[in-house]
Each structure stands twice: as C-alpha cells, then as structure tokens.
Structure 1
C-alpha cells in the first residue's frame, strides 16, 4: 500500500491557467465620486486640524515660542510682544479648521469636475483600457 504522501509526490503539478480580462472603463458615477472625494477630504481635514494642534503643543512644550519671544524682544525692543498671545492654541486650531473646511469644499468640487471631465472625454477616447488577471 502506498501512503497519501507518496501519491501526492507522484502527481505532476498542474499548470495554473491564468485568464486575462481586458475591460474598458467608460463611465464613472458622478455621485460616487463626489461622495468618495468628500469623505477623503473630510478625513484629510481632520488630520490637518489634529496635526496643527499637536505641532503647536510640541512647540509650546519645548519652549520654542519662548525663544522666539526673546528673539523678537531683542530685535524689536518691545517687551509686550508674545508669540503665544498672538498665535494661541485656539487661533491655530480655528485657522486649521477654516483651512480644512475650504480644502473639503474645494477638493469635493474638483473631484466632481474630474468625474464630469472623464465622462465627457470618454466620448472622444473610448474609455480607459484596464487589464485584469487571475492568479
């Protein structure tokens, strides 16, 4: 009697048949692109606000602002100048939030315009040829 391992050893390896499929991308759904770009830009906006706050906290805790205050007092001969009063955590977060909202609106609009332009250009070019394979 032969064991299962010996039977498996004698088997010839099958050649894997990989199929290739070539498809044309001839339409991009407008609302899907708008939703996707909105969500991506919203995530990037959240990252921007958090990163701006964290950078401010790191600079404040390492006393970089104090050194800038000393430098500005020496240069301007003004003892009332303070970086942390001018650029406090609230102002930095508020500015980052405004920039994030503008980026979200502009990025969503650009995504929508890109989808419209792609759908219009498909009429002239025939679409984007994409190849897929089965491994």
Structure 2
C-alpha cells in the first residue's frame, strides 16, 4: 500500500526536462487611504439613489392601493365610517383617496425625498472631506484573490 502511495507522489514530482506547472499568484494585500470624495460624484450618486427611491415609493404606493381595492378595504372603511358618522352622512373614501390623489401625494413625497437624499449625499461628502483633512482619511485594506 505504501508502495502505491510512493509511486503516486513520485509521478506528481516533475522529472528533469518536464515543464513545471505555473504557480498561482499569491494574494496581494494593499492598504489604501480614502482621503477625498469628489463632490460631483457624490452628488450624482445620491441623485441616482434618490431617483431609485422615488420609483420605489410611487410603484409601492400603486401596488398597495391596488391591494386595498382588490381586498375591499375601502368598502369596509366606507361602511365603518357610515356607522360612526350616522346614516345621513355621505362619506366616501374613494372620493378622498382616489388613485390620482394617492399617486400624486406619493409623487410629491418622492420628489421631496429625492431632493433630501441628493442634498444629504453632497453634505456628507463635504463633511467627510473636512474630517479627512483633519485625521488623514479612512484606511482601507484590500486583497487580490483569484
């Protein structure tokens, strides 16, 4: 048994004249410092995140509205409001919360959030740049793995 193991190991060792198998490069570690965030880059990225958030808010509101309509929550709310307000009331939740009004409110909230996210991204970049001048930046380690 040890004879076959020795033979297998001998076969793995390259003989004279045989090319050696190339070694895989070793993982190289690099330590870098983030000392500056470009203002315009941060502004563009935060704007794109704000646009993504706007889309999520509007689409999510539309889907939630459709779920409310399909499950009959608005009809139930109308009947509860009729019982609470009395039989003489003409309260209709569909007049208050129509699809146009709901999506308009969601779009308005999305636009305000888009502006806030864009401004906050730019402000964070300015604050980081000021702090990095004082303390020297953020030290980050990277490794090259294959």
TM-score, length-normalised on structure 2?
0.82
Larger Rg: 2
Alignment length (residue pairs)? 129
Distance 1:11 1:74, change over 3 A: farther
- Match in the other structure for 1:112: 122
- The answer to whether the aligner puts 1:123 opposite 2:133 as a matched pair is yes
Q: Structure 1: any 5+ residue segments left out of the alignment?
A: 1-5
Distance 1:24 1:11, change over 3 A: farther
**Alpha-carbon distance in 2 for matches of 1:26, 1:36:** 18
The one of 68, 72, 81 equivalent to 1:72 is 81
The one of 47, 55, 68 equivalent to 1:46 is 55
Which string of whole-angstrom CA distances, capped at 9 and with x for unpartnered residues, describes residues 15-63 of structure 1? 7521100000000000000000001111110110111011111101111
Displacement, 1:79?
Answer: 3.4
- Match in the other structure for 1:3: none
After the TM superposition, list the runs of 4 or more consecutive aligned residues in structure 1 that deviate by more than 4 angstroms.
11-16
**Alpha-carbon distance in 2 for matches of 1:47, 1:119:** 31
TM-score, length-normalised on structure 1?
0.88
- The answer to whether the aligner puts 1:62 opposite 2:64 as a matched pair is no
Q: Structure 2: any 5+ residue segments left out of the alignment?
A: 1-7, 15-20
The one of 80, 88, 99 equivalent to 1:89 is 99
Aligned Cα RMSD in Å?
2.1
The one of 10, 13, 25 equivalent to 2:12 is 10
